[in-house]
Every structure is written in C-alpha cells, then in structure tokens.
Amino acid sequence: MTIEKFSVDLTGQNAIVTGASQGLGRSIAIELGAAGAKVACLARNAEKLADTVKVITDAGGQAEAIPCDVSDGESVEAAVAKVTDQWGSLDIVVNNAGITRDTLMPVMKDDQWDDVININLRGTFLFCRAASKIMMKQRSGRIINISSVSGLMGNAGQTNYSASKAGVIGMTRSLAKELAKRGVTVNAVAPGFIASEMTEKLGDAILGEVKKRIPARRIGVPEDVAGCVLFLASTAASYITGQVLTVDGGMTA
C-alpha cells in the first residue's frame, strides 16, 4: 500500500534512531533522512545498519551507523556523546529498539522477562536520560518513544512485552512534565499490527482473523508509523507533549 507523504523540513536537525537496522526503525530513519535530518542509525547488527545508511545516503541524505547495545549504559552514553561531539547537537531521539520473548506467564523464564525489560524499557530509559541532559541545555528537542497497543490493552502470552511497553508510556508522560518548561517534547507512538517479519510468521489464516478485529480491515505498514514520528519531530508538534499517538487502524477505539 502506498502512503501519501507530507512535507516536513528537518534540515539542520540531528537525530538518533535505535533499532534502525530493520522494520519500523529502518523506516523511521529513512523518513527522517528524507526530511533533511542527519540520522545516527543505532542497533547491534552493523551489517544491517549499513544497509539503512546506504538507502539514506543514496537518496541524498546524511546518516551514520553506530553499533550500540541499548541496554548497556556505557554503550548508550558513548553513542550519544559521539553524535553530539561530531554533529554539535542532538535534536531528535526515537527510541524504537525492542524485542519479544512471547510465552504464557506460568512458564515464562527469568531471562525471557529480563531480556525484554532490559531492551524495551531500560534501553528507552537510558537514552531518555542521556538525551534529556543535552536537550535541557539546548532548551529544545524531541524525544519519541515507540510503545505498543499491547502496553495499553495487554495481550495474552506477552506479559513481559506488555509490561515493558506500558512502562514506556508511563515514562513518556512523566518525563514530558519534567522537560516541557525547557522546550523539550516527549511523546509516544503505540503501533498496532504492523507488517513485519514477525507478522509474516503468523500465516495467512491468523492474519485474516487479525484483520477482522481491525476496523480499517488491513494490517498497517511501517510508513504508517514513520509518518507519525515525522510529525511529532516537526515544529508543527511543538505544543504536543506527554501524549500517546495510537496507530492501529481503530483496533483500540
């Protein structure tokens, strides 16, 4: 499906996108680059990051791959310092990196809980903390956290994932109150079912049932989410903070 794009000029803005090697993060990084932002693409997989960077630079944009473990405080601080030292400012941070380790709670192992919380929630906290220090001094900035409808309504077999994404929403709303007077906005985007490698594994039968639960009668595409991030990163959203923008085709309406 083709998504009509709107015009946003982010020329001169420096952005970090975590989990930029694939899926939503890749799409978000490409959209920010196409809008003129210089994009630091972060993930653990350097090879896949290189592909995202190539797409941005081949289209005339500016981007750099920075391998980073978002759950490691030193790695996060080093990545943020590298961007600010080289580029002079940090204007946009998109906390997208996330994983799933789905299973029912009675049989969920400790590491399945810890892995998801460490990447999805701790990783978002680490980047929010590092970015907020810089943005407060600049008196400007956009922090956009990718949550999920699972964090709003829960989902059987995803207590770890739902808890992490609900935590991201609480963090977003609290941090927004702390940073608003410094000109920094903090918002979250909560996607529903979005086409990805994960949804493809569900198979046609399950996806057919999922579509029946969605008023829009379709699975979303990464561009649906990337467009919302682009808006929240723009000057048009300067008076929007502490909000959760749900992108789910009406599923939670």
The residues annotated with a catalytic role in the active site are 161
User: In whole angstroms, what is the distance from residue 9 CA to residue 35 CA?
Assistant: 5
Residue 151, both tokens: 């964090």
User: In whole angstroms, what is the distance from residue 107 CA to residue 47 CA?
Assistant: 34
CA 247 to mean position of chain CA atoms: 13
Q: Where are the alpha helices (DSSP H) in 36-109?
A: 46-58, 73-87
User: In whole angstroms, what is the distance from residue 158 CA to residue 152 CA?
Assistant: 12
For residue 237, give the H/E element and its range. none
User: In whole angstroms, what is the distance from residue 11 CA to residue 77 CA?
Assistant: 25
